């Protein structure tokens, strides 16, 4: 007699663990395929390393809830399917103290741990807080323009567009403002993005652990040329940095008021440009233009405590 399949009993369900591993592999291929571009998880400084730790720790803590949910979603649908006559049936069931305990206490513990972690690291990574180091920091003034970045080195009396160079293992003291709309300054591998706002000063302290070229970008939509508002952050040795400063000083271009008026005009894809000198106190002068003349000290206004700047006509908004 020809053998036939017994359709009254379904086949044995697959192993839950096997199914889960298959799904994890699928998710890994889908979501981690572009990991080579995930520079946020390849930090090159102490701030970036701490931020990566916080992100991964928070992700792991949340998986404590997420993974069991996926497992139970599959397990329940298999065990309590209509064709499984061996599954218990209890239509009057409505409460379980054990289940209530698990679904409330475990999330509460996770949220508490995340809160403590976030609280501690937020204050420890305060962008206004200088980094502990025996090396003297370098001050770099950053001006956001349409659609380019201007970097002024007040101690070296030079300025550069679309490129910032600094020695590795040296604290960086950034002072930032904008001569256009609000933008966001971010070097992912070094950590901590911060806003640059017209008429106000923001501060950011970073450090690169090793030489390298890192991508810098604007994270705040700021008009037509937003996508091209990028720059190179180059960490090098102290000797190479000193040589680079001397190379910039040889440039025939000087960042005087006339040249600056040309620079602020909206342009995209602006090339790296060196200026052998800069107008004294240009950074504070840019800030002062957004305030009444009666506020003579407004150039030193700190973006964390100062009032909002007066309305200013901004190109490229």
Give 254-265 pLDDT, tens digit per residue: 999 999 999 999
User: What pLDDT, on the 0 to 100 scale, is given for residue 17?
Assistant: 57
Residues 104 and 145 in one domain: no
Does a structural domain hold residue 7? Answer: no
What sign does the dihedral 235-128-197-193 (CA atoms) show?
Answer: positive
User: What pLDDT, on the 0 to 100 scale, is given for residue 231?
Assistant: 96
User: What pLDDT, on the 0 to 100 scale, is given for residue 187?
Assistant: 96
- CATH of residue 36's domain is 1.10.287
Residues 193 and 103 in one domain: no
Residues 118 and 74 in one domain: yes
User: What pLDDT, on the 0 to 100 scale, is given for residue 286?
Assistant: 95
Does a structural domain hold residue 308? Answer: no
Residues 145 and 277 in one domain: yes
pLDDT single digits (tens) 153-162: 999 999 999 9
Taking alpha carbons only, the member of 189, 180, 252, 263 closest to residue 223 is 180
Residues 144 and 265 in one domain: yes
Adjacent-strand bridge partners of 231: 216
Look up the domain containing 60 and give its range.
16-83+96-124
pLDDT single digits (tens) 15-25: 555 666 666 66
Give the start-end residues of each E strand in 57-155.
138-145, 148-153
Does a structural domain hold residue 192? Answer: yes
Does a structural domain hold residue 91? Answer: no
- CATH of residue 170's domain is 2.60.40.420
Residues 110 and 60 in one domain: yes
Does a structural domain hold residue 133? Answer: no
User: What pLDDT, on the 0 to 100 scale, is given for residue 293?
Assistant: 53
- Per residue of the chain (317 residues), give pLDDT as tens: 444 444 444 444 455 556 666 666 665 555 554 444 678 889 999 999 999 999 999 999 989 888 988 998 898 888 888 888 888 888 888 888 888 998 899 999 999 999 999 999 989 999 999 999 999 999 999 999 999 999 999 999 999 999 999 999 999 999 999 999 999 999 999 998 999 999 999 999 999 999 999 999 999 999 999 999 999 999 999 999 999 999 999 999 999 999 999 999 999 999 999 999 999 999 999 999 998 654 444 434 444 433 333 333 333 33
User: What pLDDT, on the 0 to 100 scale, is given for residue 32?
Assistant: 52
Residues in CB range of 222: below 8 A, 6 or more apart: 144, 146, 147, 180, 181, 182, 183, 229, 316
What CA–CA distances, in Å, run from 29 to 19, 55, 191, 242?
16, 20, 27, 45
Adjacent-strand bridge partners of 214: 233
Residues 108 and 228 in one domain: no
Residues 104 and 175 in one domain: no
Does a structural domain hold residue 6? Answer: no
Question: What is the distance between the alpha carbons of residues 200 and 177, in angstroms, rounded to a whole number?
Answer: 6
Question: What is the distance between the alpha carbons of residues 133 and 135, in angstroms, rounded to a whole number?
Answer: 5
Token pair of 267, please? 């342009």
Buried b / exposed e over 67-94, threshold 16 CB at 10 Å, is eeeeeeeeeeeeeeeeeeeeeeeeeeee
Residues 273 and 155 in one domain: yes
Does a structural domain hold residue 11? Answer: no
What CA–CA distances, in Å, run from 198 to 133, 141, 177?
31, 14, 6
Residues 101 and 227 in one domain: no
Does a structural domain hold residue 256? Answer: yes
Residues 31 and 163 in one domain: no
Identify the residue whose tokens are 């964390």.
Answer: 304
Q: What is the pTM of this model?
A: 0.76
Query: How many structural domains compose the chain?
Result: 2
User: What pLDDT, on the 0 to 100 scale, is given for residue 270?
Assistant: 93
**First CA to last CA across the chain, in angstroms?**
82
Residues 71 and 196 in one domain: no
Question: What is the distance between the alpha carbons of residues 275 and 289, in angstroms, rounded to a whole number?
Answer: 22
């Amino acid at each position: 007699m020809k053998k036939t399949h017994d359709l009254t009993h379904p086949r044995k369900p697959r192993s839950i663990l096997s199914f889960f591993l298959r799904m994890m592999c699928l998710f890994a291929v889908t979501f981690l395929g572009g990991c080579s571009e995930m520079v946020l998880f390849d930090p090159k400084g102490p701030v970036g390393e701490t931020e990566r730790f916080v992100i991964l720790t928070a992700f792991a803590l949340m998986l404590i809830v997420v993974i069991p949910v996926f497992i139970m979603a599959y397990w329940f649908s298999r065990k309590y399917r209509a064709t499984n006559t061996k599954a218990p049936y209890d239509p009057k069931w409505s409460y379980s103290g054990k289940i209530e305990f698990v679904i409330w206490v475990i999330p509460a513990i996770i949220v508490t741990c995340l809160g403590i972690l976030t609280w501690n690291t937020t204050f420890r990574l305060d962008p206004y807080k200088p980094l502990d180091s025996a090396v003297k920091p370098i001050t770099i003034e950053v001006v956001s323009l349409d659609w380019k970045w201007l970097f002024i080195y007040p101690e070296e009396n030079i300025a550069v567009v679309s490129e910032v160079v600094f020695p590795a293992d040296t604290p960086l003291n950034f002072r930032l403002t904008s001569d256009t709309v609000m933008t966001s300054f971010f070097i992912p591998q070094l950590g901590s993005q911060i806003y640059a706002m017209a008429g106000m000063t923001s501060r950011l302290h970073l450090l690169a652990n090793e030489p390298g070229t890192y991508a810098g970008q604007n994270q705040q939509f700021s008009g037509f040329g937003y996508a091209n508002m990028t720059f190179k952050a180059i960490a090098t040795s102290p000797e190479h940095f000193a040589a680079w400063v001397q190379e910039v000083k040889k440039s025939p271009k000087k960042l005087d008021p006339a040249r600056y008026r040309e620079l602020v005009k909206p342009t995209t894809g602006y090339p790296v440009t060196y200026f052998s000198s800069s107008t004294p106190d240009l950074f504070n002068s840019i800030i002062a233009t957004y305030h009444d003349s009666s506020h003579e000290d407004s150039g030193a206004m700190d973006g964390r405590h100062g009032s909002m700047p007066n309305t200013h006509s901004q190109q490229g908004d």
